[in-house]
A and B are shown apart, each in its own frame.
Chain A
Amino acid sequence: MGFGRVVPEPEGEYFHADWERRALALTLAIAAAGRWNIDMSRHARESLPPAEYLGSSYYAIWVKGLERLLVAAGLVGADELEQRRVLRPGEPVRAWTADDAAAAMAAVVPYDRPVDTPARFAAGDAVRTRVLHPTGHTRLPRYARGKAGVVERVHGAHVLPDARAHGPDERPQWLYTVRFTGRELWGDAAAPDLGVTIEAWEGYLDPA
């Protein structure tokens, strides 16, 4: 069905080629420059043309996303990527030492923020996800749009990826875990005892 079977993999096998190691390390290390955030990174990958996204391996998507971010931020020219060499000096940005990198990987940088508004929903409340089709970034999966569910957990207000993927404004909103039945999401194709949860920001939800 669909993309075929899932292929298990032994523990401890993280990379299947050396360039995958480098792709991971470059993507994490360049964050020190502070020119973009994780939501912008995700959006750069997920907004690749769909056929290219599905036709690329995981770390190839990371590399293509990183190249897009570097060009958009003016840190590397498209001509430099094309010619695979430096044509002009770099911008003055911060670069991590090994110790800086170790500290950054271990740092806890939470995504919750204080807000003045009380949570609109509480655990147990019936909600319905909105039917949203934004042109920009979102974290509301297509399969869970317009569906009835129940709030299972209230997480506090978290930065809104839909906003933060496009600029510095974090627009924090209350975040909830919402539980759906499989039948609500998939109809009779789902087993009767299947449940699925997602995390949904308040703006994704209406009372049901």
Chain B
Amino acid sequence: MAEDMAERVEALESILVEKGYVRPDALEEIIATYEQDVGPRNGARVVARSWTDPAYRDRLLSDATAAIAELGYGGRQGEHMVALENTPDEHHVVVCTLCSCYPWPVLGLPPTWYKSPAYRSRVVLDPRSVLADFGVTLPEGTRITVHDSTAEVRYLVVPMRPAGTEDLDEEALAALVTRDAMIGTALL
């Protein structure tokens, strides 16, 4: 199966290149963009800024697309951003049950599990069991809201700032922020 797909895609690529529909340099550029340049470190910087700058946090929560653009991030699959701030009362988890919608400019390409039938079917029904697969248990009294990205609105979860990080600067804080925490399947 995997071997067949390798041959099938190789044939498809050579057909498209030979017909002049795609250029190899464009393919390499796209791969490099999403394998090296655009990824969850972008989102981590947004989160760290919102932790350290209250005015930025307000802008992020009221117009996330513009606030994220302030840090230089934007583009495909990030046209209509909404930031969801976790609190002791409410924990947010993001999914796309219909396909794999994901905020590329801040998180990059989605992990395999985010696109899997297991995650997409179960997280809207029983998110705590999904969090358990990640080894995560929410504190008593924290309710869960699951956000199903069914349109072109894309969500970034702003996790709670860990205790004892008052002395860290923005860069050190960003290093604490994980991809999964910005999807909602991890705590910090």
Footprint of B on A, CB under 8 Å?
1-9, 11-19, 21-26, 28-30, 32-33, 42, 45-46, 54, 57-60, 63, 66-67, 70, 75-76, 80-81, 84-86, 89-93, 95-102, 104-112, 139-141, 143-144, 153, 155, 158, 161, 175, 177, 179, 182, 185-186, 189-191, 193-201
Q: Complex: how many Å from CA A45 to CA B128?
A: 30
- How far in angstroms is the closest Cβ of chain A from B51? 20
Q: Complex: how many Å from CA A70 to CA B5?
A: 17
Q: Complex: how many Å from CA A186 to CA B125?
A: 7
For the complex with contacts A7-B112, A58-B112, 10 further pairs of A-B residues with Cβ separation under 8 Å are A8-B111, A11-B111, A45-B99, A75-B21, A84-B15, A93-B20, A95-B21, A97-B25, A141-B148, A191-B128
Residue of A nearest to B143 (CB): A193
Chain B contacts for A185, CB-based, 8 A: 124-125
Q: Complex: how many Å from CA A8 to CA B185?
A: 9
Interface centre among B22, B109, B129, B147 (most CB of A within 10 A): B22
Our count of residue pairs bridging A and B at CB distance below 8 angstroms stands at 260
Any chain A CB within 8 A of the CB of B16?
yes
Which B141-188 residues have a C-beta within 8 angstroms of A? 143-153, 178-180, 185
A-B contact pairs, 24 of them (CB 8 A): A1-B129, A7-B113, A9-B111, A9-B113, A15-B35, A57-B5, A58-B115, A63-B8, A75-B19, A76-B15, A99-B29, A101-B27, A101-B33, A102-B33, A105-B38, A107-B75, A108-B69, A109-B79, A111-B151, A141-B98, A175-B151, A194-B127, A195-B143, A199-B151
Q: Which of A8, A100, A179, A186 lies in contact with B26, CB distance below 8 A?
A: A100
Q: Which of B10, B111, B112, B119 lies in contact with A22, CB distance below 8 A?
A: B10
Q: Which of A1, A60, A86 lies in contact with B5, CB distance below 8 A?
A: A60
Q: Complex: how many Å from CA A177 to CA B153?
A: 9
Any chain A CB within 8 A of the CB of B67?
no
Any chain A CB within 8 A of the CB of B55?
no
- How far in angstroms is the closest Cβ of chain A from B180? 7
Given contacts A26-B22, A101-B26, contact A196 B134 (CB under 8 A): no
Q: Do the beta carbons of A26 and B9 come within 8 Å of each other?
A: yes
Q: Which of A6, A14, A81, A97 lies in contact with B116, CB distance below 8 A?
A: A6
Interface centre among B33, B109, B128 (most CB of A within 10 A): B33
Q: Do the beta carbons of A76 and B19 come within 8 Å of each other?
A: yes
Given contacts A5-B133, A111-B152, contact A95 B119 (CB under 8 A): no
Residue of B nearest to A144 (CB): B148
Which B1-44 residues have a C-beta within 8 angstroms of A? 1-2, 5-13, 15-16, 18-23, 25-31, 33-35, 38-40
- How far in angstroms is the closest Cβ of chain A from B22? 4
Chain A contacts for B151, CB-based, 8 A: 111, 139, 155, 158, 161, 175, 199, 201
Q: Which of A3, A28, A93, A197 lies in contact with B146, CB distance below 8 A?
A: A197
Q: Complex: how many Å from CA A42 to CA B17?
A: 23
Q: Do the beta carbons of B19 and A158 come within 8 Å of each other?
A: no
Chain A contacts for B112, CB-based, 8 A: 7, 9, 13, 16, 58
CB-CB nearest 3 A-B residue pairs: A90-B19, A199-B151, A84-B11
Chain A contacts for B1, CB-based, 8 A: 60
Q: Do the beta carbons of A63 and B9 come within 8 Å of each other?
A: yes
Q: Complex: how many Å from CA A21 to CA B180?
A: 22
Any chain A CB within 8 A of the CB of B137?
no
Residue of B nearest to A199 (CB): B151
Q: Complex: how many Å from CA A55 to CA B48?
A: 40
